[in-house]
Structure 1
């Protein structure tokens, strides 16, 4: 069974991704490989943050790994919060604070178009590969649903009437930005 480390400390992401990886892959966490430090995310792009984390794990622990970075890009806010999505309302990284800050900044806005973008960097036997997943949608005017994490309670993907936070994990994974990027990763791994 191939082992792959997912370079994140976000348990919600690990749960989503482990459900999507096929049975021939054993998903390791940072804790599993002895990496207890917080990985830096100080680049100015999602691609840069994703690569920074994967490079760190590969160079310091020599395990096959992948890292992601995800941003919510809101058209009326000129792409914000983007790369700063996790700390949009401050360094405390509170989902509730971030959502409330977003809704406040969108008050009075008719244009509520947004997209989630996930970028994954994989290091496999020292070789770097990258994958992207995007889902378009709109931002609601209030919280809806209590599943998921991050901005899920205020994001309705195009073609749906429910927010990600109102969907089952399986339904969300089938259409989400992270789901799309992970499927590209899995398809690539099948060719190796």
Structure 2
């Protein structure tokens, strides 16, 4: 069975990707499951740049297996696109979700709804071989709330409000969120490309 190595150790992300790709005849592995233990420095200026950097670095040591990498984050129009590619380390420390959210709330304090427009973006790169690379991107639009809402999700989910559902990502069920999320959208496009391969 062909293998796809996900260039991540984020358990939430891996679970989501495995579920969506479960219909395909591929064995989907995390870096840990593939016994790969390296940190790839994300030096790109866009989400797609970073996804490409991660995918190509892991592909070099993936024994010819396919490699899937993604990079995603939050873009707020009135903050000139911030947090952007720095979403995970917006407040300085990588992965400090509470500090990242608090910084975002502080920067938008007193802002009108029009200034709170935002979108989540997810860029994905699948390297099948050196000559065959698939790139897809998914987006979802929303509004940044002025307070935390909801207990589920991760990252900026408690602040990202989707008007159509009248909920933040953190108030949605997994099914609701996966149905409209940036990662769900990117994976949907990836599935269409993969169907051509099997």
Which category of TM-score, normalised to the shorter sequence, fits these structures? over 0.9
Q: Aligned match of 1:178 in 178, 183, 195?
A: 183
| 1:191 Cα offset (Å) | 0.5
| More displaced 10-residue stretch of structure 1: 108-117 or 33-42 | 33-42
* C-alpha contact (below 8 Å) 2:2/2:65 kept by paired residues: no
* C-alpha contact (below 8 Å) 2:139/2:185 kept by paired residues: yes
* C-alpha contact (below 8 Å) 1:144/1:154 kept by paired residues: yes
| 1:22 Cα offset (Å) | 3.0
Indicate the residue corresponding to 2:171 in structure 1. Answer: 166
Measured in 1, the distance between the counterparts of 2:172 and 2:21 equals: 20
TM-score (structure 1 length as normaliser): 0.95
* C-alpha contact (below 8 Å) 1:136/1:158 kept by paired residues: no
Q: Aligned match of 1:132 in 134, 137, 150?
A: 137
Point out where structure 1 has 5 or more consecutive residues left out of the alignment: none
Q: Which runs of 4+ in 1 moved over 3 A?
A: none
Indicate the residue corresponding to 1:10 in structure 2. Answer: 10
| 1:158 Cα offset (Å) | 4.1
Q: How well do the aligned residues superpose, as a CA RMSD in angstroms?
A: 1.2
Q: Name the SS of the counterpart of 1:68 in structure 2.
A: strand
1:85 is the counterpart of 2:87 = yes
Measured in 2, the distance between the counterparts of 1:161 and 1:39 equals: 37
| 1:23 Cα offset (Å) | 2.8
Indicate the residue corresponding to 1:27 in structure 2. Answer: 28
1:109 is the counterpart of 2:111 = yes
Q: Name the SS of the counterpart of 1:120 in structure 2.
A: strand
TM-score (structure 2 length as normaliser): 0.92
Indicate the residue corresponding to 2:96 in structure 1. Answer: 94
| 1:63 Cα offset (Å) | 1.8
How many pairs were matched up?
192
Measured in 1, the distance between the counterparts of 2:47 and 2:31 equals: 20
* C-alpha contact (below 8 Å) 2:3/2:66 kept by paired residues: yes
| 1:67 Cα offset (Å) | 0.4
Q: Aligned match of 1:141 in 143, 146, 153?
A: 146
Q: Aligned match of 2:124 in 110, 120, 145?
A: 120
Point out where structure 2 has 5 or more consecutive residues left out of the alignment: none
